[in-house]
Structure 1
Amino acid sequence: MSNQNGVSEDLDVLIVGAGFSGLYQLQICRKLGYNYKVFDDAADIGGTWYWNRYPGARVDSPTPIYSFSAEELWKDWNWTERYPGWKEIRAYFQHVEDKLGLKKDITFNTRVVSAEWDDGEHRWTVKTNNGLVVHPRFLILATGALTVPYTPAFKGVEKFRGVCHHTGRWPEEGVDVKGKRVAVVGTGATGVQVIQEIGPEVGHLTVFQRTPNFCLPMGQAKLDVKTQTKQKPLYPTYFRFRIQTVAGFLYNPYPKDYTSSTPEERILRQEEYWARGGFQSIGAFNDTRINQESNDALYAFWRSKVRARIRDPKMQEKLAPMVPPHPIGGRRASLEQTYYEVFNQDNVDLIDLNENPIAEFTSKGIVTGDGKEHEFDVIVLATGWDGVTGAMTKIDIRGIDGQTVAEKWKDGVYTNLGMTVSGFPNMFFTYGPQAPTAFSNGPSCVEPQGDWIAGVIKHMMKNGFTKIEATPEAEQNWRGMVMGIYDKLLMKNARGWWNGANIPGKAVEVLSFPGGIPTYFNKCTEVVENGYEGFVLSGKGSGRV
């Protein structure tokens, strides 16, 4: 590669990231014959599934929906579980590699540190941590929504002499917790998965909880080859239908309001959907996101289900309080299998950080606000992520006027279609801010986005355009629509990574498009049909075309 000799390289497309989105984009570039490269900070493909290897790590979207839609990738692949664990997801990515041979086009262990737009050449200058320099016409950031681990500024965390890891950077060789004194800080999705996985084998477990997680039944099931083989004629229909549903799964909420249903309908419908498991288990009525009475009733139903599994009344109140701290569905729910049963164990404690916060870390463990020192052998930091925007803002990306993306978004996110930013021409991103992202199944979002981006680039190359930029008016309108939808939803009364409230100093606002996948992609299609309305296209050296 010419870069090894210090020579920079012109490209049609640079893709940053080798997860679902980056690999899908790579396949498109290959088919269209572009001059392209893919950079990834990891040592292998998989994106978030390269890093997610903590105990209990498992996908929360069911198969086969959580996979690529191409027939060549599913026709001779079979899953062993409805919700596969991280090892099986990794095996799936290896299957994709065996079929497509993608790795030869990916430069691993290579982190993009900066990107600067050259308005004279209509190209980006992209630099990496290991000295590579490329000049792509188009920059596609497939950097993911949950890829930047966040650890609060705990006092003295460096003093701890035991084993301490964030779930997002768990060692490949794993950590032995059998018989050990273990702390889990955080009860988000990763915390829930770790707790239910290690709970039965640790010597003592202490869970530090700030906000109870309104966990839903996973509805896990073993899968066999015979059954999947019979279903595969329907797979093309599944994959077409998933982008016709609100969240990219194979279902929509039941099309009737809770408030207009009879008492008998309410009970039977809730029980029916709960028995299905997954995120669908709270989709029995279509007004729970907007109607407080409906939301309160759903929470009461959820609370009764959870409390029935917890023996200690005090623990019941900590994990499923009588008064909810936020609307149910207002934060990302986690799917669980045995989470609540762990808290029935005599060797498990729960510390409410609202009543007794972490004061500092010591060489032996953690001191809480009451002055007590809790000694541990292992501390698991399940403290979350700088979600949706973090992977982009941590790169020094400078647009036309030298402003960085981080600076532009300091007080709030502005995009057009959740894929472009005014002032940053020829830059696209997938599964990022103001797209369905956090409110959707990943592949259901990134495949249509990848197709849309590829359509733009193909149109430009065919017609001699070398620059496309979203207009400020278009991104103002897009932001207005996103915020307008959000303002009607009860989730605006919750705080978490969905709205950036977990990161100090981050603007608190909805970070994903809350209007559903069909509405989102209809809007994207309309823009193309209207001649790329909201964008300015031009050719290098010839002014506007």
Structure 2
Amino acid sequence: MTDTAQEFDAVVIGAGFAGIYMLHKLRQQGLRVRLFEAGDGPGGAWYWNRYPGARCDSESYFYCYFFSDEILQEWSWSERFPAQPEIERYLNYVSDKLDLRKDMTFGARVTTAAYDEQANRWTVETSAGDKVTARYVVTAIGGLTSTAANLPDIPGVKDFQGEWYHTGHWPREGVDFRGKRVGVLGTGSTGIQAVPVIAETAGHLTVFQRTPAYIMPAKNHPLTEEYNAQIKANYPEIRAKVKTHWGGQPYDAPAYSFEEVTPEQALALQEEYWNNGGLRVIQLFKEGTRLPAAREFMENFFREKVRSIVKDPAKAEILEPKGYPMGAKRIALDTNYYETFNLPHVDVVDVRKTPITRITEKGILVGDTEYPLDVIVFATGYDAVTGPFRAMDIRGRGGMQLRERLDDGPRSYLGMSFYGFPNLLAVSGPANPALSTNVPASIEHDVEWISDIVDYAEKNGFKTIEPTEQAEDDWTEETQAKARGSVFDQADSWQYGSNVPGKPRRFLIWLGGLHTFRDRCAEVTREGYKGFTFTK
């Protein structure tokens, strides 16, 4: 616990990718900063997400910081798609490299932050008893975090006499599944990663699936020294591509037009991309999911892949993605997910066709059929984007509560600031593009933009930074307008908050691409921070 009398220039909340870099930038500007983190060390989402199979779905060579050439050259990734332990090690390495731990307080979850209008200061309190003040508060809490883990509203959870876990709160010591009857609820990215690993030791595994996902093969593999050396030599070019790509990825634009290739050529190309694996499986055609014929071709290709891999036609029918257009929900990467259902001790239950009735003392009741279980794993995701903010009591001018401002959905200006909350800034906040991109690339942009506006205020003697209500209203409406009528609008998903009972159906992410977002934020800066008010 820190000294309760301590005063700081800035408080940073969270020690993941965003908080680590934010602390570093603000310290470079000469500010006295304290970072609070609920976990026992750096890592953020990669500290908490220790579930079996937890792995990044962006390639390691660009799922990293680009601000330091030294870090880029010193660190070498071991796999194409790094697993949780390696990413956590990376974030610990960066924290030590930059000597950040002395300004970090671990085991301290921020519970309240209240703005004092007379003093122009925030008072921040934590679960560990810390109470400090600061001129600026920067949230670096992420959009999919353990503080907002979503436990489905199924009656009977407390009656279950076995063990149950949520993937966002996984025990550090792990879970022993050997010989046990295990049920997994949820087949989004987390469930898709966890199922093959759990199946390796479980006595019997039952997957309860509501909505089948479109799944691309990861084709993960170890990286050679030669490959890493080549990547490091090319980092200037890779960095430039990341900054101009709509998703913050160093990929070239799709090379083929669906309307200009024959059906045979389209199939051959799609097979080639499938065999290479990774995110580019759906980045083959220029039209992407916008052209109905191209999308139908890709959807049928994915369904045929399921039927060719899963030997049991009844299982394949359940697992085959359908009922919504491809691209309307997040597309996942897998390693042997479909192959796992060929194992005799692995079953899948369609709970959209026959919903779960309740959880019983002995297992899960689906319709009138009870599935006896020893362990239940909830891979049911998070109250995304707004949930982590609503988990804290943040009060601005006049005692205005941020959680109440977010009751009707995401609300912000540029996804980084809030009307009524002076000097409260957010990395990857509500109505920000981060979760539609390579997240570290989006984080780096936000951190640098926030540090610039703080520097502008400091150098000009301004005491407060705050967006106008009109700027916030316009950005909030634009966020919804961009999603309205899009492919995302054709399905219920966590991106609309549909996985959380009672949450309003509002799109949580600003669409338009990271490259466009960079341009918009640069325009705001060029025009004297248009949409912001500053006071002395």
Q: TM exceeds 0.5?
A: yes
Count of aligned residue pairs for this structure pair: 533
Question: Which one-letter code corresponds to 2:163 in the other structure?
Answer: V
1:121 aligns with 2:119: yes
Q: CA deviation at 1:345?
A: 1.4
Q: CA deviation at 1:441?
A: 1.0
Q: Equivalent of 1:523, from 508, 520, 523?
A: 520
Question: Which one-letter code corresponds to 1:489 in the other structure?
Answer: S
Q: Equivalent of 1:142, from 134, 140, 143?
A: 140
Q: 2: CA distance between counterparts of 1:271 and 1:436?
A: 30
Question: Which one-letter code corresponds to 1:190 in the other structure?
Answer: T
Aligned CA distance change for structure 1 residues 401 and 177 (closer, same or farther; 3 Å): same
Name the residue aligned to 1:72.
Answer: 70
Question: Which one-letter code corresponds to 1:23 in the other structure?
Answer: I
1:201 aligns with 2:225: no
Out of 108-117 and 269-278, give the one that drifted further: 269-278
Name the residue aligned to 1:462.
Answer: 459
Q: CA deviation at 1:479?
A: 2.2
Output one character per residue of 1:69-124: Cα deviation in whole Å (capped at 9) or x when no partner.
11222212211110011111122123223322222210011111111222222221
Q: CA deviation at 1:511?
A: 0.8
Question: Which one-letter code corresponds to 1:193 in the other structure?
Answer: Q
Output one character per residue of 1:277-313: Cα deviation in whole Å (capped at 9) or x when no partner.
2121011123333333332222111111222101111
Task: Check the 8 A contact 2:410/2:507 in 1, yes or no.
Answer: no
Q: 2: CA distance between counterparts of 1:288 and 1:78?
A: 33
Task: Check the 8 A contact 2:216/2:277 in 1, yes or no.
Answer: yes
Q: CA deviation at 1:490?
A: 1.1
Name the residue aligned to 1:542.
Answer: none
Aligned CA distance change for structure 1 residues 116 and 98 (closer, same or farther; 3 Å): closer
Name the residue aligned to 2:312.
Answer: 312
1:500 aligns with 2:497: yes
Task: Check the 8 A contact 1:253/1:280 in 2, yes or no.
Answer: no
Task: Check the 8 A contact 2:315/2:341 in 1, yes or no.
Answer: yes
Question: Which one-letter code corresponds to 1:462 in the other structure?
Answer: K
Task: Check the 8 A contact 2:412/2:418 in 1, yes or no.
Answer: yes
Out of 261-270 and 509-518, give the one that drifted further: 261-270
1:27 aligns with 2:24: yes
Q: 2: CA distance between counterparts of 1:80 and 1:492?
A: 38
Q: CA deviation at 1:38?
A: 0.1
Q: 2: CA distance between counterparts of 1:123 and 1:497?
A: 35
Question: Which one-letter code corresponds to 2:102 in the other structure?
Answer: K
Q: 1: CA distance between counterparts of 2:403 and 2:446?
A: 23
Task: Check the 8 A contact 1:41/1:111 in 2, yes or no.
Answer: yes
Name the residue aligned to 1:15.
Answer: 12
Q: 2: CA distance between counterparts of 1:514 and 1:221?
A: 32
Q: 2: CA distance between counterparts of 1:435 and 1:356?
A: 37
Task: Check the 8 A contact 2:433/2:510 in 1, yes or no.
Answer: yes
Question: Which one-letter code corresponds to 2:400 in the other structure?
Answer: Q
Out of 274-283 and 466-475, give the one that drifted further: 274-283
Task: Check the 8 A contact 2:386/2:409 in 1, yes or no.
Answer: no
Task: Check the 8 A contact 1:79/1:224 in 2, yes or no.
Answer: no
Aligned CA distance change for structure 1 residues 475 and 265 (closer, same or farther; 3 Å): farther
Name the residue aligned to 1:396.
Answer: 393
Q: CA deviation at 1:253?
A: 4.5
Q: 2: CA distance between counterparts of 1:256 and 1:86?
A: 35
Output one character per residue of 1:236-290: Cα deviation in whole Å (capped at 9) or x when no partner.
3212321211111111541554345443443343233323321210111233333
Q: Equivalent of 2:42, from 40, 45, 61?
A: 45
Q: 2: CA distance between counterparts of 1:186 and 1:251?
A: 31
Question: Which one-letter code corresponds to 1:518 in the other structure?
Answer: H
Q: 2: CA distance between counterparts of 1:205 and 1:396?
A: 40
Name the residue aligned to 1:424.
Answer: 421
Aligned CA distance change for structure 1 residues 406 and 257 (closer, same or farther; 3 Å): farther
Question: Which one-letter code corresponds to 2:42 in the other structure?
Answer: I
Task: Check the 8 A contact 1:242/1:444 in 2, yes or no.
Answer: yes
Q: CA deviation at 1:150?
A: 0.7
Output one character per residue of 1:420-448: Cα deviation in whole Å (capped at 9) or x when no partner.
11111111111222111211111110001
Question: Which one-letter code corresponds to 2:182 in the other structure?
Answer: V
Output one character per residue of 1:479-511: Cα deviation in whole Å (capped at 9) or x when no partner.
232222222421111111111111111121211
Question: Which one-letter code corresponds to 2:277 in the other structure?
Answer: G
Task: Check the 8 A contact 1:288/1:298 in 2, yes or no.
Answer: no
CA-based RMSD: 1.7
Name the residue aligned to 1:160.
Answer: 160
Matches within 5 A, 1:84-99: 84-99=82-97
Q: 2: CA distance between counterparts of 1:224 and 1:294?
A: 36
Name the residue aligned to 1:376.
Answer: 373
**Matched residue of 1:137: which SS?**
strand
Matches within 5 A, 1:91-490: 91-147=89-145, 148-254=148-254, 257-259=257-259, 261-321=261-321, 324-370=322-368, 372-490=369-487
Q: 1: CA distance between counterparts of 2:193 and 2:150?
A: 18
Task: Check the 8 A contact 2:409/2:508 in 1, yes or no.
Answer: no
**Matched residue of 1:81: which SS?**
coil
Q: 1: CA distance between counterparts of 2:61 and 2:404?
A: 40
Q: 2: CA distance between counterparts of 1:434 and 1:252?
A: 27
Q: CA deviation at 1:30?
A: 1.9
Question: Which one-letter code corresponds to 1:93 in the other structure?
Answer: L
Aligned CA distance change for structure 1 residues 415 and 97 (closer, same or farther; 3 Å): closer
Aligned CA distance change for structure 1 residues 221 and 61 (closer, same or farther; 3 Å): same
Question: Which one-letter code corresponds to 2:216 in the other structure?
Answer: L
Q: 2: CA distance between counterparts of 1:288 and 1:484?
A: 21
Q: 1: CA distance between counterparts of 2:225 and 2:92?
A: 19
Relative to the length of structure 2, the TM-score reads: 0.96
Question: Which one-letter code corresponds to 1:404 in the other structure?
Answer: Q
Q: 2: CA distance between counterparts of 1:309 and 1:34?
A: 56
**Matched residue of 1:196: which SS?**
helix
Q: 2: CA distance between counterparts of 1:325 and 1:37?
A: 48
**Matched residue of 2:244: which SS?**
coil
Relative to the length of structure 1, the TM-score reads: 0.94
Structure 2: state its 5+ residue gaps: none
Task: Check the 8 A contact 1:246/1:252 in 2, yes or no.
Answer: no
